[in-house]
Structure formats: structure tokens, C-alpha cells
Amino acid sequence: MGNIISVLPDAIANQIAAGEVIQRPASVVKELVENAIDAGADQVDLIVKDAGRTLIQVIDNGKGMSPLDARICWERHATSKIRKAEDLFQIRSFGFRGEALASIASVAQVEMKTCLESDELGTLIYIEGSEVKKQENCVQSRGTSIAVKNLFYNIPARRNFLKSNAVEFKHIVDEFVRVAMPNEEVGFRLYHNEHCLYDLKAGSRKQRLAELLGVKEEDFFFGEEHSPAANYQLYLGNPSISKRTRGNQYFIVNGRFIKDPYLNHAIQQEFKNYLPEEHHATYVAFLDLDPSHVDINVHPTKTEIKFDDERTLYSLLRSVVKKILAENHLGNTEESLFDDHSFHHLLNAQGDKPDFPTEPKLKFNPSYNPFQGESTQQKRNLGQWQDLYAGIENIPETYKTVSPSMKLNLEKRDPGIQVLGSFQLMHSYVLIQGADELLIVDQEQAHQRVLYEKFMHHIQEQKSISQQLLFPRVVEFSANDAALVEDILDEIRHLGFDISSFGNTSFIINGLPPEADKADARGLLEGLLEEYKNSSQVDTRDKQMHVARALAKKSGIRKGQKLGSVEIQHLVKDLLACQEPGISPFGKAVFVRMDENTLNKLFQ
């Protein structure tokens, strides 16, 4: 048998390596911006067109490169960061492997201009598919400009797998924020399709965090901890800026963004009693430690790293959080820091509770009548409550049974179904009397099901009704959230929103769906976006379903909300007209069945 093993050509090997390093346009942004920081730049401009499909250009005023370095840097494993294996445990720079530029050049058309401060002329290099097409002198100021054009032009399958422009641009913004955040001494600008979305000046760390996260500087509580093991600087967000979705949690280790669920747990565990229900803290944690105690050579993206003593870092982090909470007296301010029920959760949390003096209050029942007590006969009847409904008109056969899938046969829907005296239990549940069973309906899940099917119909039919606002509302988002709104703008409009773009990251709302709360147009749109991100995780293809679910949850009635008899009748009628009345849009049960056998077992 002849020899069958051969060495792959460099161009093919680079394309294979690019599959790990360059996964999408945001990967190119990450590598180029990090290189600009490593080059000592104090001003970095990022220019993007069509979410990186057409152009990604990074311009910096760093130290630049000589003609020879400009050529060698595009070869595999060419790096200025390390010289020997021991250097891997003393890394302070972003890059060190020497794979990124070679990978980028293998899947794009690249033009680079670079110049040293001591040189009169710079160097221009044009590369296409790993092949250097041109190298010549050019006029260039100190620094480097790299333009990556037509990404994945030679790998159509990879290009087809890219998401929508809005989703891809959101990833670009994420990478931009992660690099700009720990480098407050560097100015950054981000342009997308010739619009400047970020113009960050060099300044203080708190100022940089506020600009990037779209909050105020005073929304952060600061704390730090210094020890022989590590140094922490923690910026903990006011509970009022917490969100239902994860995303505003940043760990920066030696200037590099990382993901570490274990350390995240340290903050969430200490701070959870101060947050609204199902919300996540906003924080930025800066950790500085000896590079020999951390291994960053774990994953090509370098966001997953290993510590040699993670338990000590965990304990130190919890102590910082406790210190911040104690110094800022979050539970004892004159003005509430919370826009939900966080203070209630805090007072009722397990463990130590703050002992605040309270004014005694007299409680009484205004409906109590001492002359209308229960008689002996009435008490006896409580054990035979079924007899109280003897003679009530029977429910049509259509509603006598509920299938195992909890669907009702609605082909002959009769709106005359009876509700027990329009009775609402604990302001959260509705009781429905069937022919031989009792249905206990969760009003929150029921209304979400009703709204969800209505919204899905509007989206699919592309026919919606919008109620105009007397005064239009302007809502401004962060750059990545604005891109997400653009991505689902058609679905939002089909729901009944009269909304249009109003500048770079702003939108103007002229009308809302009839079911929406007109008093809080801004909160409705922001809440819809948060619910959408929470349910869809952005990278879903079924935008219609997730947008409808998000608005249904945001607009629906809640547990604890008192309903009148007419409202209950309408809710039941609309629920029974649904295609899936027994299951909420989020897969939860809308009602439970209790027949005679079930009730009898409860009293045995």
C-alpha cells in the first residue's frame, strides 16, 4: 500500500484553524481591537458595515510595525508576546498564540497599512485567502489600520450560517464593550454604517462603565479588597438597574473579560435578597492577580480560564459584596432603591433580618358583621358543599370532559358556562363549575395564553390595531439592544406598536396595542425586549413566537390582581376559545381539574 498521509497546504490549515478562532464577525472585532490595545494605542476606531459582512476596520495610533513585521504577522504562530513555554504563565497581553491574523487572512480580503513613528513611509499589504497579493510603501501616520472585507467570501457555507445583521451586530457590540470596559485610559469610537454609536473618551473607570451600560455613575456602589492572593475592585449596580436577563455581569481578570459561573455565584448569593424576583445583579468585577496563578491557555476565545486557588477567590469576592452592602445600607435608605418588591423580599428573607422600628397599625375587617355569624346548620353544610349547587343548569356536553392534553372541545362553544358566583380565589385563581368537575384556573397563565394566541394571529395575518398616543414617547436603547429592536421591528409593528426609528439608538412610539398599558409606553417596550431576550436567547429563528410570548407576559394580568365579575366572565370565555387553553405560552398548566373522586380523597 502506498503512502496516504500528506501535510496540508498552509491555506487549508489556516481555514481549519479559522473555524475555531473566527466564528463570526464579532470574532474578528475582538482580535483586531485587542491587538490595537496590545500595541499601546490610546485611541481605537472600529468601523463596521453590514454587521461585519462587508467591512470590519480597526484604526489605532499604536506603535505600528516595520515592513518585515507587517509581512510576518500574517503567518501562523507568529507572535511578539511570548518566546518560550514559561512565558505562558506570565501573560499580561490579550493575544499570544499568533493564530488570529493568519485565520482572518484565510477567510477574507484584508488590507493593512502600518507605520512606525520613526519611519517616513508606512507599509501596505493586501492579502486574499492567505495569499499576499501586494506589498508596497504607502503614506501612513503612526499606528495601524486593518480593513477586513467580505468575510467568509471563500467559504459560502460559513457565510450562510451567519445570523441576521441585528444579531451579528449585537455580538460585535458585546466584544467592543468587553475590550473597552477595562481600558478606560483609551478612547474608543464605534461606527456602524457610517453612524457613530459610541464615542468614548479616556476618563475614570466609573464613567466608562456608566457610558457602556447606559446607566448613571451614581448607580454603582464601589468596594475593593486587597490581599496577598489577589486584588478585587467591584462595581455593584443599584438593585433598581437589575434586569431579568443575564448580560450585565462582567468579570475582568488582569484586564481580560472572562466567564466564570462559580465566581458569579459568589455575588448572586450575597445580593439575591436585595433584588427583585427573578432579576440578576448588574456588576463589574475587576480581579488582578499574579499571572502565574491563572491559566488562560484553555480555549481559543480565552474567555474560559483556570485558577489554581478558586475557593480563596470566591471567599474574597463574597467579602467584598458584604462590605459594599454594609457600607451602603441598601435596606435602610429613605428613598426606595427598588422599583419592584425587593424591600419586601429582603425583610422576609431567611437568615438575619434588619430590626427596623415600625408604627403599630390597627387591622380590622370592614365587612365583618357580628349579627351574621355562621349557624350550626351552616357549618354542617360546609362538609356537604356539593349540595349547594344542586339544580344549577347543566353545562353543555362540549365542556364535560378535558382531554389528557388539557384541550377542550370548542367546536360548539357555548358562552353560557357558569363561574361560581364570579368567584376569585385569593385574587389569583378563578373557579369554574363544570358538569361533574371543578376547574381551578390560574388567571395569570390564562391571560397569557389568551394574549399570546391573539398576538400570534396579528403577526401571522400582518393585521394589527394600534391605539394612538396623545403624546408620542421616545425610547433610547443601548447599541446592542437597539440592534435587537431593529431585528424584531416588523413583529413589534404587527403586534400593534406604531414605532419607527428616531436616530442612532432611539425609537419613537406613536401608538400601542389596545391591550397595553398606555400610561407606560416606555416600560412596555423595554419590558417586551427584556422578556424577548430572556425567552429567545437571541439566537433563535422563531422570532414571531418569542415576541408574542414576551408581550403576552408583559401585558397580562398578574397574580394578586383583583378582577370583577365581568372581567372574569370575559377571561373564561376567551380562554375556552383558545386552541390550547390548558397550557400557557411558557409550558405551564393554566388550570387543574378536581372531579368528585379527587375531592373525596382530600377528605378521607
Per-position DSSP letters for 538-568, written without gaps between them: S--S-HHHHHHHHHHHHHS--TT----HHHH
Structure confidence at residue 392 (pLDDT): 39
What does the buried/exposed string (b/e) look like for 365-392 if buried means 16 or more CB atoms within 10 Å of the residue's CB? eeeeeeeeeeeeeeeeeeeeeeeeeeee
Structure confidence at residue 47 (pLDDT): 96
More confident residue, 551 or 125: 125
More confident residue, 86 or 258: 258
Give backbone dihedrals phi and psi of 47, rounded to 5 degrees, phi first. -115, 125
The mean pLDDT of 296-307, rounded to a whole number, is 66
More confident residue, 147 or 261: 147
Structure confidence at residue 1 (pLDDT): 55
Indicate whether 339 pLDDT > 60: no
pLDDT band at 158 (very low <50, low <70, confident <90, very high): confident
Residues 387 and 315 in one domain: no
Indicate whether 559 pLDDT > 80: yes
Structure confidence at residue 551 (pLDDT): 83
Residue that finishes a domain, picked among 200, 225, 250: 200
Residue that finishes a domain, picked among 167, 200, 233: 200
Residue 600 lies in a domain: yes
Residue 365 lies in a domain: no
pLDDT band at 310 (very low <50, low <70, confident <90, very high): confident
What size, in residues, is the chain? 604
Residues 175 and 225 in one domain: no
The answer to whether 370 and 538 are in contact (CB under 8 A) is no
Residues 177-190 have pLDDT tens digits of: 999 999 999 999 99
Residues 446-473 have pLDDT tens digits of: 999 998 888 888 888 777 778 888 888 8
The answer to whether 121 and 115 are in contact (CB under 8 A) is yes
Split into its structural domains, the chain has a count of 3
Structure confidence at residue 84 (pLDDT): 53
Residues 109 and 253 in one domain: no
Cβ-based neighbours of 594, under 8 Å, separated by 6 or more? 437, 438, 439, 440
Residues 243 and 155 in one domain: no
Structure confidence at residue 330 (pLDDT): 65
Residues 603 and 515 in one domain: yes
What are 542's three cell numbers?
422563531
pLDDT band at 279 (very low <50, low <70, confident <90, very high): confident
Residues 166 and 285 in one domain: no
More confident residue, 15 or 324: 324
More confident residue, 451 or 296: 451
Residue 97 lies in a domain: yes
Indicate whether 432 pLDDT > 50: yes
Residues 165 and 55 in one domain: yes
Residues 132 and 161 in one domain: yes
pTM of the model: 0.67
Residue 389 lies in a domain: yes
- Distance, in Å, from the CA atom of 247 to the CA atom of 241, rounded to the nearest integer, reads 12
Residue 371 lies in a domain: no
The answer to whether 440 and 429 are in contact (CB under 8 A) is yes
- Distance, in Å, from the CA atom of 155 to the CA atom of 151, rounded to the nearest integer, reads 9
CB atoms within 10 A of CB 334: 4
CATH number for the domain that contains residue 595: 3.30.1370.100
Residue 93 lies in a domain: yes
What are 350's three cell numbers?
431567611
Structure confidence at residue 89 (pLDDT): 55
DSSP state of 243: B
Structure confidence at residue 435 (pLDDT): 67
Indicate whether 334 pLDDT > 80: no
Indicate whether 173 pLDDT > 50: yes
CATH number for the domain that contains residue 98: 3.30.565.10
Q: Cell numbers 381539574 correspond to what residue?
A: 593
Residue that finishes a domain, picked among 149, 168, 200: 200
pLDDT band at 45 (very low <50, low <70, confident <90, very high): very high
What are 101's three cell numbers?
491574523
Indicate whether 399 pLDDT > 60: no
How far is CA 312 from its chain centroid?
29
Q: Which of 191, 103, 101 is nearest to 146 (CA)?
A: 101
Percent above pLDDT 70 for the chain = 75
Indicate whether 234 pLDDT > 80: yes
- Distance, in Å, from the CA atom of 294 to the CA atom of 91, rounded to the nearest integer, reads 9
Indicate whether 592 pLDDT > 60: yes
CATH number for the domain that contains residue 313: 3.30.230.10
Indicate whether 381 pLDDT > 50: no
Indicate whether 370 pLDDT > 60: no
Residue 23 lies in a domain: yes
Residues 387 and 325 in one domain: no
Residue 73 lies in a domain: yes
Range of the domain at 569: 381-604
The mean pLDDT of 231-235, rounded to a whole number, is 92
The mean pLDDT of 560-588, rounded to a whole number, is 87
- Distance, in Å, from the CA atom of 344 to the CA atom of 117, rounded to the nearest integer, reads 61
What are 25's three cell numbers?
464577525
Residues 276 and 132 in one domain: no
Cβ-based neighbours of 398, under 8 Å, separated by 6 or more? 408, 409, 410, 411, 412, 413, 414
Indicate whether 331 pLDDT > 70: no
Q: Which of 342, 336, 297, 29 is nearest to 188 (CA)?
A: 29
Residues 342 and 403 in one domain: no
Residues 250 and 274 in one domain: yes
Indicate whether 426 pLDDT > 70: yes
When mean pLDDT is compared across 18-32, 59-73, 301-315, 585-599, the lowest value belongs to: 301-315
Structure confidence at residue 274 (pLDDT): 83
Cα separations (Å) of 464 from 503, 514, 532? 25, 10, 20
Structure confidence at residue 470 (pLDDT): 83
- Distance, in Å, from the CA atom of 339 to the CA atom of 6, rounded to the nearest integer, reads 65
Mean per-residue pLDDT over the chain, rounded = 78
